[in-house]
A and B are shown apart, each in its own frame.
Chain A
């Protein structure tokens, strides 16, 4: 348990700060102070104060950006914008280290060449999750599981997943963790009566390696 994780969690105890954090996360990108203040219905200076507190706590990071799109001399000072920090905050009390256990298990699966068994177990787990959930829709279920789904900008009712729930494992063991994730999602889709094959690999930087394609294939 480290002090910075406690500090980060503590920063979210304030309801307004938590609202600002969630607003930035849900935007999926960068948010300016004025926009955040307006969304939460508070003064800009108050929003700025709390946004900067979230930066200090390591939950958000800042960048400079010209929000009006103008460039060059006379374009004015760039505005400060906020986005979610890459850093991961974990807080387990009493101390638990499931991530270390996951890495050791992943190494063992790889050494043994047991990927097929892993995929089968992941699919079964996905089915179980979906059946026990009261989410009611694919999107709600994915949201419940932390995938942060958003409408696919290109495809009717396709979904893109903004967050990878297995990020650190997927960095260390990409084919294994992404294979597990794909089968888990296929199981979840099947469990809510959808075609599991709607989940497919589409690795891109900064998001989940799986995408949910539209409902019916033409």
Chain B
């Protein structure tokens, strides 16, 4: 359910099996741009992290060279779910083990932010730590176990 006062922040880490320039990563790198275009045209898309002067965030490695970051904001959980699992993005996820190693614990975190604010990378790291420590809570949750926006009354 959409709440005009809140938007959903999504952050995930991908542990690369090889550098993006490696031929084994071609199946992933060739799909970065079309999938980003798909996200931006998806209903409920608000924002995604992009490196200044670039097309995407693949050059940003705030959590170390081996970790790709994916950071976006959506109107609600449903719009993010539909993009993630009901578009060609699903096929990318299905094959993700070709390019990304499994990580210990959760690698994707969701939380609510006030509408029209841009969350920071530090905040994302803090939320992922919260999820890893406490499991899904209203402060840090997942697509499988999610929570409604905080009431502002």
Contacts and interface: CB of A to CB of B under 8 A. Distances in A.
Interface of A: 112-113, 115-116, 172-175, 178-179, 182, 201, 203-205, 209
A114 B86 CA distance: 23
A174 B85 contact: yes
Nearest to B92: A175
Contact of B94 (A172, A178, A205): A178
Interface of B: 82, 84-88, 90-91, 93-94, 96-97, 101-102, 144
Contact of A115 (B90, B91, B97): B97
Contacts of A182: 94
B86 A113 contact: no
B90 A172 contact: no
A30 B69 CA distance: 44
Interface of A is mostly: helix
Given A172-B144, A174-B85, A201 B97 contact: no
Contacts of B94: 115, 175, 178-179, 182, 201
Nearest to A183: B94
* Residue from the set A174, A178, A204 with the largest chain B CB neighbour count within 10 Å: A174
14 contacts: A115-B97, A116-B97, A175-B96, A178-B90, A179-B94, A182-B94, A201-B88, A201-B91, A201-B94, A203-B88, A203-B90, A204-B86, A205-B82, A205-B86
A174 B96 CA distance: 13
Nearest to B144: A172
Contact of A203 (B85, B96, B102): B85
B82 A201 contact: no
B69 to A, nearest CB: 19
B135 to A, nearest CB: 13
